[in-house]
Amino acid sequence: MTRGEPPGGDALLDPDTEVTEADGSEATEAAPAVLAVVVTRNPGPWLEEMLRSLSDQDYPRLTTLVVDVGSGEDPSGRIDRALPGAFVRGVAEGAGFAAAANNALGALEDVPFLLVCHDDVVLEPDALRLLIEEAYRSNAGIVGPKLVQADHPEVLLEVGRAIDRYGAPHTGIEPGELDQEQHDGVRDVFYVSSAAMLVRSDLFRELGGFDPATFPGAEDLDLCWRARLAGARVMVAPDARVRHREAAEQRGKVDRPEARAKSRSRVRALLTSYSFWSLLWVVPVGLLLAFGEAIVSIITRRRGQARAALGGWWWNLRHLGDVRRSRRRAQELRRVHDRELRELQVRGSAQVRHYLSHHLHTEERLRSLTEAGRSAVDAASTGARQPVAVACLVVAVLFLAGSRDLILGRVPAVGTFASWPGVFDLLETYSSGWRFTGLGSPAAAPPAFAFMAALGAPLLGTMGLARTLVVVGAFPLGALGAYRLARPLVGSAGPAGVAALAYA
């Protein structure tokens, strides 16, 4: 299926040609030509909206190439109605997004920029212009926009991405996080999503385009990583907004990427781009994490995820020759050391963080604990101004001051309040049918022996400490008793607090 082969060379707008604006005046400076490549496969009803968003761009020099990957129905008619003048090219079924997007390599003569898009995104009218401006301003090789939900554009999806040391992605965006311009700073990122990315054409040609073997799940990571190694900057321009429908989950099962394929692609990307010395520690730790993930997945009855965790490494081991060739091409372009990219990576494991966040709900629990602590502090600060709180504070000060010798020293044996026997002696006395006090008697032992043994057992038989707690603890209990006795009589907390102070 081919309709209007995308022209190369002079057929596309020459970047040195003057542009005539809609009102008939000539632009003083020609804008660089851009080729937009939209990859489709069995597109849903969102395709027309996506193409119309391209036609609504306020950027004057945009040519569109739609590459269809073996759709069941020919989308040419829909494309022509939504975006007249767009070029359409069909590729064999099974080619994948990365291989389909590489069709642009033959049409990039004299076209400075390539805009790669999924078929389920909608660009704001100024998105392309803002991306171009930022590419020139920051001298960036790849620039990505802010991605938001298609039906709820106030909800963020991502503003650039990072990875951990083992290639797992990390967006830094909480699920359902609202866009309040908190991530609107232009900055370097490790990579941007292939849902919408602007790539400098000479860089795309130098890198050889996407690596088809990294699709699905890591074609964008692999391209941006290799661009980083070649010395190019990868930026995010949050002022450029793109709504993303994330339609992959809405497609049929045959069109949805499997977890095993994503794991395979991610492992291939890190094996391709890391230096030899980095791989000496990344591979063993990555394998250890994969085994750990597999064990946890088996325990939680997610056997498919367990196979995916280990299958990604096993697949690349079986295709080691192809990995070596891909790695050789990437390392030949290397101009940047791995340590220069570490500041764009997150510490630890993003997968472990994701599991704890989404399965054990640690973030919600921490948030609940934080809120509970804040409420307790607020309640304490409010209660501290009440008369009862003031009385309790004064009683505590008097208690600590008056009992410091008993607390720091030892309670002396006075009269019949002698030192306590051990726990087993107390239990033996309590359970015995004979009293040895005085001349002895067959009377039962008082319950105090059981109480003393029960108090000493948790303290590991430290009966001196148990005896001190009983003696010293009697003073605050007495003050509490005085308060509770006076409260019903006077009907107010203030006078009852004074009674407690008088007792203390």
Distance between CA 285 and CA 293 in Å, rounded? 12
Q: Classify residue 315 by its DSSP letter.
A: H
349-363, 393-407, 429-443 — which is least confidently predicted?
349-363
> Which one has a higher pLDDT value, 373 or 199?
199
58-62, 176-180, 236-240, 422-426 — which is least confidently predicted?
422-426
Q: Classify residue 416 by its DSSP letter.
A: T
376-380, 390-394, 478-482 — which is least confidently predicted?
376-380
Residue 237 backbone phi and psi in degrees, to 5? -115, 90
Quick one: which of 225, 230, 221, 222 has its CA closest to 203?
A: 230
Q: What is the pLDDT of residue 339?
A: 92
Measured CA distances, 468 to 269, 287, 429, 447, 456 (Å):
67, 57, 22, 19, 11
> Is the preceding peptide bond at 216 cis, omega within 30 degrees of 0?
yes
SS in 3 state form for 311-357? HHHHHHHHCHHHHHHHHHHHHHCCCCCHHHHHHHECCCCHHHHHHHH
Q: In sequence order, what are the beta bridge partners of 200?
A: 113
All CATH 3.90.550.10 domain ranges in the chain, comma separated? 2-348
Most confident of 14-28, 268-282, 459-473: 268-282
Q: Mention the CATH class of domain 2-348.
A: alpha beta
Distance between CA 345 and CA 357 in Å, rounded? 19
pLDDT at 417 over 50: yes
Angle between helices 303-318 and 320-332 (to 10 degrees): 70
Residue 19's pLDDT band, with cuts at 50, 70 and 90, is: very low
pLDDT tens track for 212-255: 999 998 999 999 999 999 999 999 999 999 999 987 665 555 44
Distance between CA 199 and CA 210 in Å, rounded? 11
| Cβ atoms 181, 208 nearer than 8 A | no
Q: What is the pLDDT of residue 137?
A: 95
- Tell me which H or E stretch contains 458: none
pLDDT tens track for 152-183: 999 999 999 999 888 889 888 888 999 998 88
Angle between helices 219-229 and 259-273 (to 10 degrees): 10
Quick one: which of 259, 274, 261, 305 has its CA closest to 167?
A: 274
Distance between CA 346 and CA 425 in Å, rounded? 61
Distance between CA 196 and CA 424 in Å, rounded? 76
Q: What is the pLDDT of residue 379?
A: 53
**Number of other residues whose CB lies within 10 A of the CB of residue 309:** 24
Where would I find the H helices in 179-275? 201-207, 219-229, 259-273
What proportion of the chain, given as a percentage, has pLDDT over 90?
Answer: 43
Who contacts 334 (Cβ-Cβ below 8 Å, separation ≥6)?
Answer: 229, 230, 275
